[in-house]
Chains A and B, each alone.
Chain A
Amino acid sequence: MSIRTRQQPDRRDGREHGGRERDGREHGGRRMPRWQLLLRYLLLLAVLALTIGPFLWQLSTSLKGPGEDIYRYPPSLLPHEVTLGNYAGVAQIIPVWDFALNSLKVALANVLTNCAGAALAGYALARMRFRGRRAALVVFIMAMLVPVESIMIAQFVTMRELQLNNTLLGVVLPGCIGAMNVLLMRNAFAALPYEVEEAAYVDGATVWQRFVRIALPSVRGTLAVVAVFAFMGAWDDFLWPLIVLSDQSKFTLTIGLNFLHGTFADNQRLVAAGTVIAVLPLIVLFACLQRSFFRGVGEGAVKG
């Protein structure tokens, strides 16, 4: 993901919107032929089956009752003996709701710290002049270039020295202000016009007031992208919690699922129910936010 400010925000926006409007009806100055539209939808449906199908199969498996042969042939997507018993079953074997709560705590903490920390640092880097600014910027860029996988053992040792291994705080800390997010926020702030802030300064606003009242509300889009990615990143993370957490009561959902899979691999219905519990909140969250998410991402957060 390259961090680049939109060079000319107004022009690009205008073109994109104008383009989209026209795109619907014509292509290269011509209407899209009916057969082409049909072919397009057929392809879309094929890809849809490929991307959503596996999730539906998992959902279906999780709803199949004990009397139904989940290996039966021919396979049937619709469960014949619908039951929610597998969800209760998972909760009896592993404290899946506690795991979910742990995941939620970690994810929310990650959202808060990332939004606040990245906005503060990004604002300073974009909007203040001071000695050492370039050095600070270089620190963040360097931190972004170091892959997490290559420092996780040292992080693990550091956490042990801080006696934070096997705590949720230990899960949150290393990623709680991502260097990438700092740079994203910096670019968002840098794209704002200076004049408004200068007027506020003349009116006597302090730097904090200008940050909270003027700059922050103007970068809500980027802030939302940072928040969504922070939530998803924390909720979905597997490797780091796997290293830090050893006590079952501290497990997050992903680690709990891996444990469930390892211990009860034979009972596919239960594993399926567990995965549905893990993925459903995210799909719902994403479905609610997708409109602004795609706009935010398309607007320059993820831009080549």
Chain B
Amino acid sequence: MRTATTPRGRGTAARSPAAAPPASPGPRRGGRIRTHLPSSPWLFLAPGLLIVAAFGLYPFLSTVAGSFTDARTLTAGQFVGGANYRELVHDALFWTGLRNSLLYVLGVVPLLVVLPLLLAMLVRRQIPGITFFRAAFYTPVVASVVVVGLIWVWLLDDRGLINALLEALGFGRVGFLSDPWLLLLSAMAVTVWKGLGYYMIIYLAALANVPRELHEACAVDGAGALRRFLTVTVPAVRSTMVLVAALSSVGAFKVFSEVYLMAGPTGGPGGEDTTLVMLVQQVGTGLSGRVGYASALSVVVFVLTLGLMLLVLRAHRTEER
């Protein structure tokens, strides 16, 4: 995620941080003038900074600090050093959660990078009725993940629609929600289904920027549709693909709701389908929540999320060289 500078070199403070602001309103380099009281910016910023600091940065610091204590929901806890982290390493559920979260990334991300691009290609042309299709394809994004989860629980039920269809085709019933591996795969499918529309829009915006001339030149050279897609479109939207990969891998790694709804709060029998965030929620909340241990888990989630993102961005950079 990048923030770009303001457009067209309008001299912002970001570009000339060293320039001391003039004491009184007056002409300045770049034609800009000081037009407000010294306190105004801070009044404007106060609500945002307050909320972000109180409910974003402070909790982060206290998570890191708390991970070294044996705090519980109702008690502050003592400093225990790295005990939580040592326990983590020996916690079978932690490894199950880590495995499932990483599997989720591997299963979901390739599909979410490729399928929405194809979908965006499909809805890109301005043909009659296309706005309807675009909006319809976006509907799963709009719906709450709980609604989506419950819809699919019903569809994938032993007696649900999909099993009825499978049986009609002579395949017999499949225990989508009872087999731990199938359940994880089903949850991944639901995540992909729900995410398609979101990434489709991102790709649509990127496709609008692909120069038409390239396509036309390519077509003149006699390249077919597939060839044009691979030699013009894909390279042109490559940086968007990296962005989608980064966003979707971070999202997949932190998966909670789909698996929680389909497998139950504890991740099925023996916690076989639990994910890392499910584990954090399970361990850290409630009246006897082990806040310290959950904090250590949270720190691991944070570090791995960040690592995952850097990994994707780095892969992009080396490829560009």
Q: Which residue of B lies closest to A133 (CB)?
A: B13
Query: Which of A19, A291, A300 has most chain B Cβ within 10 Å?
Result: A19
A152-B281, A154-B59, A232-B142 given as contacts; is B32 within 8 A of A3 (CB)?
no
Instruction: Name B74-122 residues within 8 Å CB distance of A.
Output: 119, 122
A302 near B201 (CB under 8 angstroms)? yes
Q: Is the interface of B mostly helix, strand, loop or mixed?
A: helix
Which of B57, B164, B204, B220 is within 8 Å of A75, CB to CB?
Answer: B164
**Which residues of the other chain, A, contact B215 by a CB distance below 8 angstroms?**
28
Please tell me if B315 contacts chain A, counting CB pairs below 8 Å. Answer: no
Please tell me if A217 contacts chain B, counting CB pairs below 8 Å. Answer: no
Which of A52, A133, A237, A275 is within 8 Å of B136, CB to CB?
Answer: A52
Which of B1, B62, B143 is within 8 Å of A157, CB to CB?
Answer: B62
B32 near A129 (CB under 8 angstroms)? yes
Q: How many residues of B contact A (CB 8 A)?
A: 123
A23 near B281 (CB under 8 angstroms)? no
Which of B123, B196, B298 is within 8 Å of A153, CB to CB?
Answer: B298
Please tell me if A51 contacts chain B, counting CB pairs below 8 Å. Answer: yes
Q: Which residue of A lies closest to B202 (CB)?
A: A302
Please tell me if B68 contacts chain A, counting CB pairs below 8 Å. Answer: no
**Which residues of the other chain, A, contact B165 by a CB distance below 8 angstroms?**
75
Q: CA of A41 to CA of B256 in the docked complex: distance in angstroms? A: 36
Shortest B66–chain A CB gap in Å is 6
Q: CA of A160 to CA of B58 in the docked complex: distance in angstroms? A: 15
B164 near A74 (CB under 8 angstroms)? yes
Which of A113, A149, A183 is within 8 Å of B254, CB to CB?
Answer: A149
Q: CA of A12 to CA of B146 in the docked complex: distance in angstroms? A: 38
**Which residues of the other chain, B, contact A197 by a CB distance below 8 angstroms?**
35
Q: How many residues of A contact B (CB 8 A)?
A: 132
B14 near A134 (CB under 8 angstroms)? yes
Q: Which residue of A lies closest to B154 (CB)?
A: A268
Query: Which of A51, A173, A286, A297 has most chain B Cβ within 10 Å?
Result: A51
A contacts, CB < 8 Å to B = 1-9, 12, 15-16, 19-24, 27-30, 32, 37, 40-41, 43-44, 47-48, 50-52, 54-55, 57-58, 61, 71, 73-75, 113, 116-118, 120-121, 123-126, 128-131, 133-134, 136-137, 139-147, 149-158, 160, 173-177, 179, 182-183, 187, 190-191, 194, 197-198, 201, 207-208, 210-211, 232, 235-239, 242-243, 253-254, 257-258, 261, 268, 271-272, 274-275, 278-279, 282-283, 286-287, 290-291, 294, 297-298, 300, 302-304
B contacts, CB < 8 Å to A = 1-4, 6-8, 10, 12-14, 17, 21, 31-38, 40-42, 44-45, 47-49, 51-60, 62-63, 66, 71, 73, 119, 122-127, 130-131, 133-140, 142-147, 150-155, 157, 159, 161, 164-165, 167-168, 193, 196-197, 201-202, 204-206, 208-209, 212, 215-216, 218-220, 228, 237, 239-240, 243-244, 247, 250, 254, 256-257, 261, 277, 280-281, 284-285, 289, 291, 294-295, 298-299, 301-302, 305-306
Q: A149-B301, A261-B261 are in contact. List 5 more A-B contacts (CB 8 A).
A: A23-B124, A55-B143, A130-B41, A146-B302, A302-B201
